[in-house]
């Protein structure tokens, strides 16, 4: 549905606001070579899926998970967490125009602690942060976005979803919220049929231009 007004913005984290997907591709590529050498291009195969989905589908044994999870935690503790160009300015402009912003991520709170250490004022940019612990169903289920809207007591017609991955875009569309796809990991052609609108990035994007684009 087209938004009646823009009062709430619900953002995915990795690949949507933070330029981290390339780093995860390196990590999971190495994990694939080590644990699933029979699967070619493992990093591309799991792109856009949640940790829960990766583990249940490709590493279901407890033994494998106990070997992989500490490697992931160590990797995430030293990752670079950087906003895409223009993303911080866009968030600040949304706040200046009274828009409440939320992070809606499949990452857990332990991972988010790394983000807060890397970007000390990260929490000041958002009115709510929902992590994997806050919802029972992973994307592409719309549960996470519906819970975020409910956290604000928001009408869905006053919300926007910002996503980059196929599962996240599917979750946004299934929620009934106007969904904006960021062409940061996939091309515009690859995602334009999976969302209501595509943006190439945040540079030069403001609340005013966003309003004009979604009318």
End-to-end CA distance of the chain: 11
Report residue 1's pLDDT band, with 50, 70 and 90 as the boundaries: low
Q: Which domains does the chain have, with CATH numbers?
A: 8-19+82-213 (3.40.50.1000), 21-77 (no CATH)
Q: What is the pLDDT of residue 99?
A: 97
State the Cα angle at 25 between 23 and 29, rounded to 5°.
125
Q: What pLDDT, in 10s, does the model give residues 102-142?
A: 999 999 999 999 999 999 999 999 999 999 999 888 899 99
Residue 46 has pLDDT above 70, yes or no: yes
β-pair type (159-163, 128-130) = unpaired
Question: Please, are residues 158 and 5 in contact by the beta-carbon 8 Å criterion?
Answer: yes
User: pLDDT tens digit string along 193-207?
Assistant: 999 999 999 999 999
pTM, rounded to two decimals: 0.93
Mean pLDDT computed over every residue of the chain:
94
């Amino acid at each position: 549905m087209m938004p009646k007004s823009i009062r709430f913005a619900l953002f995915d984290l990795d690949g949507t606001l933070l330029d981290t997907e390339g780093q995860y591709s390196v990590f999971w590529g190495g994990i694939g070579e080590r644990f699933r050498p029979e699967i070619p291009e493992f990093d591309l195969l799991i792109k856009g899926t949640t940790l829960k989905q990766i583990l249940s589908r490709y590493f279901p044994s407890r033994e494998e998970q106990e070997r992989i999870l500490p490697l992931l935690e160590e990797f995430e503790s030293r990752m670079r967490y950087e906003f895409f160009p223009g993303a911080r300015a866009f968030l600040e402009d949304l706040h200046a125009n009274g828009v409440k912003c939320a992070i809606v991520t499949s990452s857990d709170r332990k991972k988010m602690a790394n983000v807060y250490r890397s970007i000390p004022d990260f929490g000041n940019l958002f009115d709510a942060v929902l992590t994997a612990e806050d919802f029972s169903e992973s994307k592409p289920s719309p549960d996470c976005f519906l819970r975020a809207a409910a956290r604000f007591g928001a009408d869905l017609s006053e919300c926007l979803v910002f996503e980059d991955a196929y599962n996240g875009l599917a979750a946004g569309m299934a929620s009934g919220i106007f969904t904006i796809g960021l062409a940061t990991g996939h091309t515009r052609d690859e995602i334009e049929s999976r969302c209501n609108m595509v943006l190439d990035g945040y540079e030069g994007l403001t609340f005013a231009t966003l309003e004009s684009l979604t009318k």
